[in-house]
Structure 1
Amino acid sequence: MTAAATLIIFSVGLFAGAALMLAAVTVLKRTSGSDTSAATTQLGNLLDPLREELERYDQRLTSFDRERAMQFGALSEQLHMVAAASEGLRDQTHQLSSALRTPSVRGRWGEVQLRRVVELAGMAEHCDFDTQVTTQGESLDGETRRLRPDMVVRLPGGRSVIVDAKAPLSAYPDANTATDERERTRLPRAHAAQLRSHVDALAR
């Protein structure tokens, strides 16, 4: 029940009570000096509807209070669940951020994400790509090296693309959590420089 509805019910009861009291005064004037029991009976007949209306009004208020308490309890429970879910998400995010700072975990995560990307693109292993294949490669200075890339994607014409899923990310999480404005500007640049150095190292 809304506050407006409660106010309307109260106003109706108030006007009804005033009307009944006026009628009661009229009865008393008419029966002044006559039979008191008859006057009492007439007053009772006039006041009974008012008493019944007040009882109904009290029942409605009680029901309204009960519903409001139930709704407040349900809202409180939902807020508690949201707070618990938010806390759990915060913990999981912190654990993931901490795990990605470890090179081995970060490398494995990169391999999994790379595989998901090529599979979502419709590629099939051993047909369109291979993983952890040892190959021979020639560096820029002419030396032959053994390579073990994370993935080799096969292209038409016998060509292939060698993919390394691992990359330095030490500066990237720090950039996301930095509060100092200068650090938030410096760290992304440091991350880009680390990636550039990593690419240069792979090309040697």
Structure 2
Amino acid sequence: KDIASQNSEDFLRLAEERLGKVQSESGKDLDARKKEVENLIKPIHEGLTKLEKATTDMETKREGAYQGLKRTVDTLHKQTTDLRDTNIQLSTALRGSIQARGNWGQISLKNIVKAAGMLEHCDFDVEFTLKSGKGGARVDLLAKIPGGGDIPVDAKVPLASYWDALELTDPDKRLAKMAEHAKEVKKHIDDLVKRDYPSMMDGTDFTVMFIPAEPILSAAYEIDPELQEYAFRKQVLIATPVTLMALLKTVAIYWNQVSMAENAKEIQSAARAFYDRAAKFGEDLAKIGRGLSSAVSGYNDAVGAYDGSVIPAGEKLKKLKVAEGAARDITDKNPQLVSTSVRTVTKLSMPINEEE
């Protein structure tokens, strides 16, 4: 009887060890599969986060571009009004300072560029080499335009006759000095034609001649009403703070559109990359499912063998009272079949390769 009892205990121990080994291996396999799933999900999560951020940024810029258009126009109107009033005041204040007169044009130019939001797309005081090989063709401003190219802006129109005219009280002398002012403006147009800035760059076929105050240009127009048409024929655009502001604002809008288009391309690229990863994840998930299904099948086979062989033998030994005194009952806490099947991934698409 002692030998039979010992054999029974050995048999039960071996059966439990075998079942425990099967359960341990199944558990390790499940942990490994779980870790593999987590590793697959991580890049998908990162891709979704990047896609969400890019989409949010694009929507924010788009909303700012369209909903802020009216505010931009209102602000432009206020800024141009303020600029006109300020320039009139400055024209009076600067009559006595030669140095201030020389610096005023460039200072006014930079303020307009800043107000138009074009500082990052403009270069100041750029020197070119003339076709003759001589230096000295210095343009005061280059406004970059989307797609390549620049708009040259010159702010060196002579203003001495205009300032002198303002100091005269005699109407005839003042009119004569204003006539000199109109001739100087026209001569400066011809000088810009000779410099031919557009031939040194791409994107435009005209030069902007900046005059830092509306009254300065109006005074020239009063003497020579055909001055604007003359400038057009020479491919020179005469711009005051108001018209230059409008021009630069228009260019700034195009730059915003380019920025949004670049964001759209980035979103498209991220979306395609995400789609590829998602498709690959689905395929890998199907492989994991097949592995889990195989593991469950092996586990169920082991449980079936345990129920069909180990339990009946144990029951027989129990009836023969061989198992009396054993530490455990073979029928306690029997392993159960896993009846839940692994869900199959039914919808898989081929990954899309990004075309760039």
TM range (shorter): 0.3 to 0.5
Higher RCO (C-alpha under 8 Å, 6+ residues apart): 2
Give the alignment's TM-score, normalised by structure 1. 0.44
